Amino acid sequence: MIQQRILVTGGCGYIGSHTLVCLLDPSNSPSIQYSVVVVDNLSNSSPESLIRVADICNIQGFAISDDGRRGSDPSNRLIFRAVDCCDYVRLREVFLEFQAEGGFDSAVHFAGLKAVGESKLIPLTYYQDNLGATLTLLKLMEEFGCRRIVFSSSATVYGVARDEKAKLKETDEVGVTITNCYGRTKFMIEQILTDFH
C-alpha cells in the first residue's frame, strides 16, 4: 500500500473537513493510505470538526490538546496544528516537523477568507490574508520540494454574464467581470499558481 502525507490548509472548515473524510476513508482509495496534516487558524472554524472527521473515518484515539493548538491520533493519520498560513515562521515549523518523515507529498489549499459581502467592506484584509496565505504556502512548498497542490477556487472568478439573460458557462472568459474583492483574490491566486507550475 502506498502511503502519502498531505497538508490541508483550512481543513477545519466545511469544505476542508469534508475533503478530509474523502482522504481518510480507506474505501475511497484502497491502494493509498493518506496521513493528513491539517493547519487552520480557527478564525472561522473549530477543531471540533476534526473530532467528527475522526469518528466518521473510524480513527481511534484522536484528541485535541487542552489548549486547542494541536491534535493527533496514535497512528498519526490525522494531525492538527493551529497555525495561520500567513505566519511564515509558524507554518515553516510545520514543514520542518514533518521533513524528517518524508515531508508532504502534496497540499490542498482551502485557507482564506470567503465572504463576498465582507470582502467589499474590508478589501485590503482579503488581499492580505488570501494572497498572503497562498504566497507563504507556495514559498514553503518550493523550499521543501513539494510541487503538487489542489487549490479551492470559487465560481466568483467567472463574474457575471455580459448578457443578463445568458447563463455563465465554464468555457466563459474568467476574471473579466468579477464583482468583488473575494473573487479577485481567487482569480489572482489562479494566475499565481499558473506561474508556480
User: Any idea which residue has 488570501 for its cell?
Assistant: 130
User: Any idea which residue has 477543531 for its cell?
Assistant: 47
Q: 70 pairs with which residues across the strands?
A: 81
Q: Give the HSE-up count for residue 70: Cα atoms under 13 Å, Cβ half-sphere.
A: 7
Cα 122-124-126 angle, rounded to 5 deg: 75
182 is annotated as an active-site residue: yes
d(CA 27, CA 66) in angstroms, rounded, equals 32
**Count of residues for the chain?**
197
Which among 34, 126, 158, 182 is annotated as catalytic?
182
* Rg of the chain over all Cα atoms, to the nearest angstrom: 18
Q: Which residues are catalytic?
A: 182
